Structure 1
Amino acid sequence: MTTAPTPRLGITYVPYRPPEELRELALAADDSGLDELWVWEDCFKQSGVAAAGAALAWTRRIRIGIGLMPTPLRNVGLAAMEIATLERLFPGRLIPGIGHGVQDWMGQAGVRASSPLTLLREYATALRRLLAGEEVTTEGRYVRLDRVRLDWPPEAHVPLAIGADGPKSVAVAGELGDVFLLSAARSAEQITAARTVLDQAAPGRRHEIVGALIASTGPGARERVDAELARWTPDGEPGFSAAGDAESVAAQLRRVAELGVTSVAIQPTADEPDLLGLARFLGTEVRPLLGG
């Protein structure tokens, strides 16, 4: 029997909460032994790049992921500059993520693309080349650059994360990304299907796969999680979640890891009563049960 690799464990700072609460969560996650902290860029709540930069400055060792920067909203040259600057300031700790963004929000901002898939492909291709220090000239449908080269590119490879749901977009993520971001509350069938598409898009490569798992502990945990799941899967059967003590949460993490998920970002409920306590619980009680 093959044992699944130990997944990395992190927590997500969901912008249900104000930006000024991020510092204490970042410190709690770093001090408690968690592997990753993920910040979101949701319109029109919080900037993922600003939040990631602050979290990197406050912490010592934890990896900081951005899940995700909408490609219509940010020029690819600007995104490359931001990523390169953060990577050089805090080497090896940034996981930048890109994706389509929520189309309604893109429409509100006046940047909605008629072909999000084409934009994602053009954007990811140009971004990878810029981060590799290349001079890029391209005249695509959406991405147009004229002899653009970063003066200060990253000194090492930066893992590019791409989030997607549809099979064509997942295939682009598999082809051009290093890390794949799953949406929250995915089922075993959905995770397996995404992994199959990733493998087919880039045969022989093993992508990092980050799964968002809605979880809580303490009194009323199951009720909080079920209410949160209803927000994320209103028309379908909810996927993986976790509620209860450390062993109960760890058991769900092991199940997800067996499906190929390499990193689990715990997503707190909107009404989580003790966010810092949850981070410490995950780092000091759940993380040791996973081994590795």
Structure 2
Amino acid sequence: MTNVRLGVMYDRDWDPAGLAGFARQAEETGLDDLWVVEDLGWNGGVSAAAIALGATTRLRVGIGIAPAPLRSPALLAMELATLERAFPGRLVAGIGHGASNWMAQVGVAPRSPLAMLEETITAVRALLRGEKVELDGREVRLDGVRLVHPPHKVPPIVAGVVQPRSLELAGRVADGTLLAEGHGPDDVRTARELARKGGAGDGFGVVAYAAGAVDDDPGRAAGALREFLAGQGSWLGKTADELFSVSGTAAQAAARVDELVAAGAETVVLRVFGPEPLRQMAALLAARAKAAPTG
């Protein structure tokens, strides 16, 4: 068995009113991470992260992802600094391009998505380091901005991206990358290769989202994922059969997690489908513990 941070997503379709209780239960289950979602019309990622952090004492909370065009880098840095100072060492911030059609809906579609993402991440990280930031970029302009209360330690910033040029950019400006559901071991290896091409060092990390369903009946688990994988495949330009998922019995799901980790993912976050998601995660944890070498 390989080591990994194992986490669960609080699905965007779930009522935010249940987030605090879910976060406490996830921590009690023994999970390492809880990741919240920011999608247009659904939930706010920073506010959701604050709820989850405030409800727990150990759990690491990830934001996946804050769309760069929608978030002023100054405001985003202020929000992240507040969370990191209040809950040190328990935050990971994902920043991405945002869905282009959604960004157009709210009038923030950038002329250059790549420049917007690079300048936003660069500015946010500099502000979190306590630096005075002067930036006159293609998309971002800051005139002598500095945080009064920067965090004592900068939280990891990961780029939630898909395309090769963006994955290379992640290696240049971020601490890691976040891969969307459906990406498998080959995609993890490719993401790491492109990040290295962009200049990433040994500390660069990969967080892999995965659609998951754990059931004693593998067919029932596969059925729980069928509709989502069809839609995700359309978005990624692949067939549902080409997408990677973590499903089947607990032992089968544990083996799938280890495939991602062997390819270079340090964190695997399941978007769980089917009933009782935390019961499914507990079964997965038990299967991984059972497979661990003894002695």
Say whether the fold is shared (TM-score over 0.5): yes
Partner residue of 1:236? 238
Asked whether 1:252 is paired with 2:252, we answer no
Q: Any idea what the Cα deviations from partners look like across 1:194-227, whole Å, max 9, x if unmatched?
A: 1110122125434110111111123521111233
Instruction: Select 1:53's aligned residue among 14, 29, 50.
Output: 50
Identity between Structure 1 and Structure 2 (%): 38
Equivalent pair of 1:160/1:179 in contact (CA under 8 Å): yes
Q: Any idea what the Cα deviations from partners look like across 1:28-54, whole Å, max 9, x if unmatched?
A: 110111010000101010000000000
Partner residue of 1:109? 106
Secondary structure in 1 matching 2:70:
coil
Offset, 1:153:
0.0
Secondary structure in 2 matching 1:17:
coil
C-alpha RMSD of the superposition: 1.7
Kindly indicate whether structure 1 or structure 2 has the higher relative contact order, using CA contacts under 8 Å at least 6 residues apart: 1
Offset, 1:243:
1.9
The runs of 4+ residues in structure 1 deviating greater than 4 Å are 289-292
CA distance in 2, matches of 1:206, 1:128: 16
**1:264 corresponds to which letter in structure 2?**
V
**1:228 corresponds to which letter in structure 2?**
F
Partner residue of 2:192? 195
Equivalent pair of 1:27/1:58 in contact (CA under 8 Å): yes
- Describe the shift of the 1:90–1:146 C-alpha distance in structure 2 as closer, same or farther (beyond 3 A): same
CA distance in 1, matches of 2:200, 2:95: 22
Equivalent pair of 2:92/2:156 in contact (CA under 8 Å): yes
Equivalent pair of 1:170/1:197 in contact (CA under 8 Å): yes
**1:246 corresponds to which letter in structure 2?**
A
Secondary structure in 2 matching 1:181:
strand
- Describe the shift of the 1:290–1:233 C-alpha distance in structure 2 as closer, same or farther (beyond 3 A): farther
Secondary structure in 2 matching 1:72:
helix
Asked whether 1:227 is paired with 2:224, we answer no
Q: How many residues align?
A: 286
Secondary structure in 1 matching 2:93:
strand
Q: Any idea what the Cα deviations from partners look like across 1:227-279, whole Å, max 9, x if unmatched?
A: 3211211341433212222211110011111110111000123xx22233234
1:133-148 mapped onto 2 (5 Å cutoff):
133-148=130-145
Shifted more, 28-37 versus 221-230: the winner is 221-230
